[in-house]
Structure 1
Amino acid sequence: MEAIQEDLATLEPVPWLSNPATRVQVLRLDRVHPLISGNKWYKLRFYLETARSSGKKVVTFGGAYSNHILATAAACNQAGIPCAGIIRGEAPPQYSETLRDAVSLGMELHFIAREAYRQKQLPAALADTSCLVIPEGGYGIPGMLGAATMPFISGTFDRICCATGTGTMMAGLLHSAAKGTAVTGFSVLKNHKSLTQEVAALLPPSSPSGIIYHDFHFGGYAKYNPTLIRFMNELYAQTGIPTDFVYTAKLFYGVKAMLEQDFKTDRNILVIHSGGLQGNRSLPKGALIF
């Protein structure tokens, strides 16, 4: 398997999003690895160090198309760490491509009922196993500290923008961004009003707070419509930057909209491309031009 290549996480100007007053650059974390993609590697790195030193099996949670599940399977495979994925819902007659890939990388899959999943219960098969549990999306102090090691985020920017699910990456940005840099999240979940508190819970009390927009989720997690798909194709045609419909497309769409509104006084904006392109495999074939 390919090694993580953090040196490929480069800054790339995006003239299509920029204007005469504001320069927009994207941090291409999607390039560091095809499976341990983008911010997933950074959120996992300290959890994996602990698992390796303790000899514990990694156990984590996700859905049938979860970027986090696939990234964890690939990272554990690369590090020689046994792992298991707790998957939301009943086992389907046929696994998604994401789950098939995770199994091929050595991850055990355990399917649990949705209510048990909400309570993050471990199945009986893991009850006697020495486990290191990684919360969904890498949420937790180790995940936040790992996200804080992403390159360039301590640079001189007026604003850093990211997609937010659990808020782990946003907390890492707040932890390491230079003083005076606004950190802005674009929530991909509908009505996730507790997100601000969940981000703050990972940080020291004196940490700066960020801004979260809740109007660019396109109906909720993993929801989309023709407008978002057209935007993804136009963004790629104009810039060569591929996005996924779950996270990064909603981020770029929101940034473009806000450049006409709240971001008018910014002169230098960094947008974090957090990877996760494999999620597009759930879209109808031919929907995207990339």
Structure 2
Amino acid sequence: MDVYAKIDSRSHLVKIPDLDRLNITVYMKREDEIHPIISGNKWRKLKYNVQHMHLTSQNTLVTFGGAFSNHIAAVAEVCGQIGISGIGIVRGERHEPLNSTLSFAESRGMELHFVSRGLYKDSKSECAERIMDGKDYYLIPEGGANELGVKGCEEILTDDERKNFDMITCSAGTGTTSAGLLRTLGEKQSLMVYSALKGDFLYESIIELSGLDDGIGTLDLTDDYCFGGYAKTNEELFDFITDFYKSSSIKLDPIYTGKMMYGLVEDCKKGRIEQGTRVLAIHTGGLQGIEGVERRDNVTLFTK
């Protein structure tokens, strides 16, 4: 991972049959193509954190995540690439065999520690202190949700994209990516966030992370398409992801981007997005998590 590289991902038109009659144009920002594991917003959120870690001369990186965490996988890959120790504190009990996300993290040398959901929710930092037992370490919050993570996400949109689209859409788990986008929207742009979590609490998190009270007028968030909550799925979502791939050749994951695109299409159909709108949907990556969901739910999303 070259943390000093400036990366611009491509954007291209996505033909969605249901939207043709509505005169709504959708482009996709292919952040998923940045790297096979450290892809999309994971690269953005880790870039400046890893730069800062180099300045502190720490050689152990500690972070947090759930069982299907793209962030855990990305941090494990970064640690493997640059040759430092990685500690992942995982929400919930250890279940064997590990899913593909966690088994990959261990294969890259990450040391996993599993803690109860209650302890994880209330005292993650204390868990890290206890596990490290006085040793020095560099801490990155869950999902890279800090100022350095937001700073990296400020680099997603290009100048042309700030001029040529009316609406930017993205999925959200911590709100870090949304905060970076909110800071850099074009003068007349709005941001539509599709939460992967149940509840509207992420709205306040995004405003707080962005530091922009005046951004409230350009930000909208919904959990209408979270399918019951984080990592929850059903056959309707799977069918949408499969059909979308058949028509576009673009893979979506069922945790984040699949729910975002499902919600975007539904909102267009329902008239929540005006006819004539030009939309840029941010593909934030996360494709590494597909295998784990397919095994858990006994489903195959993509066939060659």
When normalised by structure 2's length, the TM-score is: 0.88
Identify, as 1 or 2, the structure richer in helix.
2
**In structure 2, which of residues 168, 176, 188 is the aligned counterpart of residue 160 of structure 1?**
168
Give the unaligned 5+ runs of structure 2.
none
Residue of structure 2 equivalent to 1:122: 127
Change over 3 Å in CA distance of 1:205–1:273 after alignment to 2: closer
Matches within 5 A, 1:207-246: 207-209=214-216, 210-246=219-255
Cα distance in 2 between the residues matched to 1:202 and 1:160:
18
User: Superposed, which structure 2 residues align to 1:198-209 within 5 Å?
Assistant: 198-209=205-216
Q: CA deviation at 1:91?
A: 2.7
Give 1:213 deviation, angstroms.
1.3
Contact 2:157-2:184 at 8 Å conserved across structures: no
Q: Deviation string for 1:235-274 (max 9, x for gaps)?
A: 0000001001010010001111112212124531100001
Is the CA contact 1:157–1:269 (under 8 Å) kept in the aligned structure 2? yes
Q: Which runs of 4+ in 1 moved over 6 A?
A: 1-6
Whole-angstrom CA distance in 1 between matches of 2:209 and 2:276? 27
| Offset at residue 106 of structure 1 (A) | 2.0
Match of 1:89 among 73, 86, 92: 92
Relative to structure 1, the CA distance from residue 90 to residue 15 in structure 2 (aligned partners, 3 Å threshold; closer, same or farther) is closer
Residue 274 of structure 2 is aligned with which of 249, 264, 267?
Answer: 264
Amino acid at match of 1:201: E
Task: Give the Cα–Cα distance (whole angstroms) in 2 for the partners of residues 236 and 116 of structure 1.
Answer: 39
Match of 1:275 in 2: 285
In 1, are the aligned partners of 2:63 and 2:142 still within 8 Å (CA)?
yes
Confirm or deny that 1:58 pairs with 2:64: no
**C-alpha contact 2:198 2:223 (8 A) present in aligned 1:** yes
Alignment of 1:1-290 (within 5 A): 9-16=9-16, 18-19=19-20, 21-56=23-58, 57-118=60-121, 119-120=123-124, 121-123=126-128, 124-152=130-158, 154-191=162-199, 193-209=200-216, 210-260=219-269, 261-282=271-292, 283-284=294-295, 286-290=299-303
Tell me the CA shift for residue 4 of structure 1.
Answer: 10
Q: 3-state SS of the aligned residue for 1:202?
A: helix
Give the SS at the match of 1:122: helix
Letter in 1 for 2:204: Q
Q: What is the rounded CA distance, in whole Å, between the counterparts of 2:4 and 2:151 in structure 1?
A: 18
Percent of residue pairs bearing the same amino acid type = 35
Distance in 2 (alpha carbons) for counterparts of 1:160 and 1:173: 8
- Say what the alpha-carbon RMSD is for the aligned residues: 2.2
In structure 2, C-alpha distance between the alignment counterparts of 1:6 and 1:74, rounded to whole Å: 19
Separation in structure 1 between the aligned mates of residue 243 and residue 302 of structure 2, nearest angstrom: 9
Contact kept? 1:8, 1:31, Cα under 8 Å = no
Aligned pair count reads 289
Which range moves more in the overlay, 24-33 or 91-100? 91-100
Report the residue type matching 2:148 in the other structure: P
What SS does the aligned partner of 2:285 have? coil
What is the rounded CA distance, in whole Å, between the counterparts of 2:61 and 2:214 in structure 1? 30
On the 8 A contact 1:156/1:181 being kept in 2, the answer is no
